[in-house]
Chain A
Amino acid sequence: MRQYETTFIVAPALPDGEIKKAVKNYKDLLEKEGCEIVHVDEIGVRQLAYPIKKNNTGIYYTIEYKTETGEVIDKLELAFRRDERILRFLSVKLDKYGIKYNEDKRAGIIDERKNKLAAERAKKREEEEAKNKARKATNNNNRRKKKSASKPKPEPTVEVPADVAKTVEVPADVAKTEPTVEVPADVAKTVEVPADVAKATETVETVDAAVDVAEEVSLDGDILGDLTDSDNKG
Chain B
Amino acid sequence: MAVQRRAGRTSREDIKFLSNPNIGNNRKKYCRFRKYGIKHIDYKDPDFLLQFINEQGKLLPRRITGNSLKYQRKIATAVKRARHLAMLPYVADLLK
Spell out A's residues near B (CB within 8 Å): 7, 9, 43, 46, 48-50, 52, 58, 60, 62, 87-88, 90, 92, 95, 97-98, 100-101, 105, 117, 135, 139, 143, 146, 150, 153-154, 157-158, 221
| B-side contacts of A139, CB under 8 Å | 17, 21
Interface residues of B in 8-40 (CB under 8 A from A): 9-10, 13, 17, 21, 36, 39-40
- Name 7 A/B residue pairs within 8 A (Cβ), A-sorted: A58-B86, A90-B81, A90-B84, A97-B40, A101-B39, A146-B13, A157-B6
Residue from B10, B86, B87, B88 whose CB has the most chain A CB atoms within 10 Å: B86
* Contact present for A50 and B44 (CB under 8 Å): no
Contacts of A52 in B (CB 8 A): 86
Please report the number of residue pairs spanning A and B whose Cβ atoms sit closer than 8 angstroms.
Answer: 61
How many angstroms between the C-alpha atoms of A114 and B63 in the bound complex? 25
Given known A-B contacts A154-B6, A157-B2, A101 and B85 have beta carbons under 8 A apart? no
Nearest CB of chain B from residue A91's CB, rounded to whole Å: 11
Min CB distance B33 to A, Å, is 11
State whether A101 touches B40 (Cβ < 8 A). Answer: yes
Contact of B85 among A9, A97, A146 (CB under 8 A): A9
Interface size class of chain B, counting residues whose CB lies under 8 Å from the partner chain: 20 to 34
A157: chain B residues at CB < 8 Å are 2, 6
Neighbouring B residues of A98 by C-beta, 8 Å: 40
> Interface residues, chain B, CB within 8 Å of chain A?
1-3, 6, 9-10, 13, 17, 21, 36, 39-40, 42-44, 46, 81, 83-90, 92
Q: How near does chain B come to A227, taking the closest CB pair, in angstroms?
A: 18
Q: Name the B residues within 8 Å of A146 (CB-CB).
A: 13
Closest to B92 in A: A49
Q: Which residues of B contact A87 (CB under 8 A)?
A: 86
In the bound assembly, the distance between CA atoms of A55 and B47 in angstroms comes to 22
Taking a contact as CB atoms under 8 Å apart, the answer to whether B6 and A150 are in contact is yes
What CA separation (Å) do A48 and B2 show in the bound complex? Answer: 70
- In the assembled complex, the Cα of A153 lies from the Cα of B6 at a distance in Å of 9
CB distance from B92 to the nearest CB of A (A): 8
**What's the Cα separation between A227 and B6 when bound, in Å?**
27
Contacts of A49 in B (CB 8 A): 46, 83, 86-90, 92
